[in-house]
A = this chain, B = another copy of it.
Amino acid sequence: MRWKTAISHVTDGKEIIRGYNLQDLIQKKSFVEVIFLVLKGELPNEMETRMMNALFTASIDHGIGVSSAMTARTVVSTGNSLHTALASGILAMGKLHGSAIEDAAKFFQENIYEPDIASLVKKLKDRKVRLPGFGHKILSADPRSQTLFTVAKETGFYGKHSELAVKVGEELNKISSKKLPLNVDGAMGAIMSDMGFDWQVAKGFFIIGRVPGLVAHIYEEMMSDNGLRRLTEEEAEYCGQEERKL
């Protein structure tokens, strides 16, 4: 099997990352600049660096209650090591948790040349397709998406995809009975599209941002005296077949 990569090269104790010596990167560049480098192939400029910082920070944590934090803490509580617990937390990021960024980026990238947004939105609504990146459990406006757009405007990354996102939102809210604000996933998907990233790497942005939060949760759980996490008898209910003879 051949294994080819353009990302990095380790040889004779020297390591090259996308053409740059790792030692130089350690001394002269920030972590986020080097993240951009491994993902894009080139170092970012100042505006790109600031925007990347904002995107990752927006993902860093979302409370103990989300499925990934709850899963990672359960798994470390059973006596696993940190890396095993972290992996399980990441596995909990299925289609319904952390994937809306990917779906939204895909939707914006695929419809960027669509001339008639109003018709598109109406057609999808008629087919009961849920538009990715819109809606919030409680709020009628999502402050995190507004903050991200503020940074995007300051850094020059409020571009065609972001405009499309806003336009889609306007059309959607004309015909929706419920207020459906552009949420943080939608804003992230639009902005990273405007930065030139492929939607297929979008979920990676969310996960890179969230991993430190999960590490913090795992460490907090390790230091606690909660013991093994499992359901109590009151939390579980049996609704099956009554006892019977074999």
Contact = CB atoms under 8 A, between A and B. Distances in A.
Given A8-B64, A204-B82, A229-B1, A13 B220 contact: no
A231 interface: yes
A140 B83 CA distance: 30
Contacts of A80: 84, 91-92, 94-95
A77 to B, nearest CB: 7
Interface string A138-167: 110011100110110000000000000000
Given A75-B67, A87-B91, A222-B200, A31 B53 contact: yes
From A150, A198, A200, name the one whose CB has the most chain B CB atoms within 10 angstroms: A200
Contact of A3 (B70, B93, B94, B201): B70
Contacts of A233: 11, 65
A28 interface: yes
A118 interface: no
A27 to B, nearest CB: 6
A105 to B, nearest CB: 13
Greatest chain B CB density within 10 A among A5, A23, A76 is at A5
A95 to B, nearest CB: 3
A212 B207 CA distance: 9
Interface string A202-241: 0110011101110111111011101011111101111111
A198 B82 CA distance: 13
Contacts of A93: 78, 83
A35 interface: yes
A79 B222 CA distance: 21
A46 to B, nearest CB: 12
What 4 pairs across the A-B complex have the smallest Cβ distances?
A79-B95, A6-B240, A19-B241, A65-B231
Given A3-B64, A67-B78, A83-B203, 19 more contacts: A3-B65, A4-B236, A6-B238, A6-B239, A7-B64, A18-B240, A19-B244, A25-B57, A26-B54, A26-B147, A29-B53, A30-B32, A31-B57, A66-B231, A77-B96, A78-B97, A79-B99, A96-B228, A204-B219
13 contacts: A5-B220, A5-B239, A6-B241, A8-B64, A16-B240, A19-B241, A23-B143, A38-B215, A67-B229, A75-B92, A78-B93, A79-B95, A204-B215
